Structure 1
Amino acid sequence: MKRPARVKVTFRLSSEVSSQLADYARRKRVSQGSVVEAALASHLSPDGADRLEAALSRRLDRLSRQNDQLQRHLTISNETLALFIRFWLTATPPLPDSHQAAAQAKGRERFEAFVETLGRRLAKGRTFADEVVRDLPGDDGGADPA
């Protein structure tokens, strides 16, 4: 097959772009000219904009789904904490001053056990938010019914 005629073109690049071009060509083991030619061909291609838009759209969709999941987990966490605080404040009577030191020591002990248990659960990849979502009756794992 006959190679198309080649035309010499001279242009200037910033030192930063020139350095990036040289590094990229060296890593890919191709000439800088072929990198520039491929980039220009892609940029000037009539369907290049459509491909770029489709790729960006897929990425935005994925980010949107991840954001929705994070929002759901954050909502569960906030509601869990709020319910716990309300319950604790309602159900826990104030301690007399004579019991404060013992209660604080027991609190430290329980908190250390809590942190240890939390570390083990997170290391195993188990999360409370996933358990809550899984245990909700009639919940399909996060799909928005609206």
Structure 2
Amino acid sequence: MRIKHTFRLPADLSGRLADYAARKRVAQTQIVEAALLSFLSPDGSERLEAAIGRRLDRLSRQADRLEHHVGISNEAMALFVRFWLTTTPPLPDTAFAAAQASGRERYRGFVESLGRRMETGASLARELSEDMKATPEHVTENFDK
């Protein structure tokens, strides 16, 4: 059984309702009924809060993973730079041009290798976690010293 109600809406809201009903190809009555059911539902706000909470939890986990991966990247870069600075002697002025040419070629190779690696989906974080599982603890302890 349905009961007829008569009420007035502001002109802009009535226009929006008509536009939405036309786009969705449903009766305006169905839209108003669904909106009222949703608004008057006793647990509607609780469901919304739970959905927002789940989404925030997921975003928080994603941010934590991102922070972890950025930390690994920063540490890997820092270790490389420290290693490179301590093991590479300065060049004499006569070898500078040859070193630049060699550096450009090596950089091109690096970029190509990086491109291939990115295409395959390989990641340093995954490799590190696999290497840590396979490496005995005494080896990693001595490496850090």
Q: TM-score, normalised by structure 2?
A: 0.81
Please identify the structure whose Cα radius of gyration is greater: 2
Alpha-carbon displacement from aligned partner over 1:5-64 (angstroms, at most 9, x marks no partner) = 13122212647x944x55543443212332233123212211001100110111011101
Give 1:7's aligned residue. Answer: 5
Percentage of pairs with the same residue: 57
1-side partners of 2:114 and 2:22: how far apart?
47
3-state SS of the aligned residue for 1:111? helix
CA RMSD across the alignment: 2.1
Alpha-carbon displacement from aligned partner over 1:100-124 (angstroms, at most 9, x marks no partner) = 1111111111111111111111111
Change (3 A) 1:22 1:65: farther
Aligned residue pairs total 134
Give 1:82's aligned residue. Answer: 78
2-side partners of 1:35 and 1:98: how far apart?
80
Q: TM-score, normalised by structure 1?
A: 0.81
Gaps of 5+ in 1: 139-146
Give 1:105's aligned residue. Answer: 101
Give 1:144's aligned residue. Answer: none
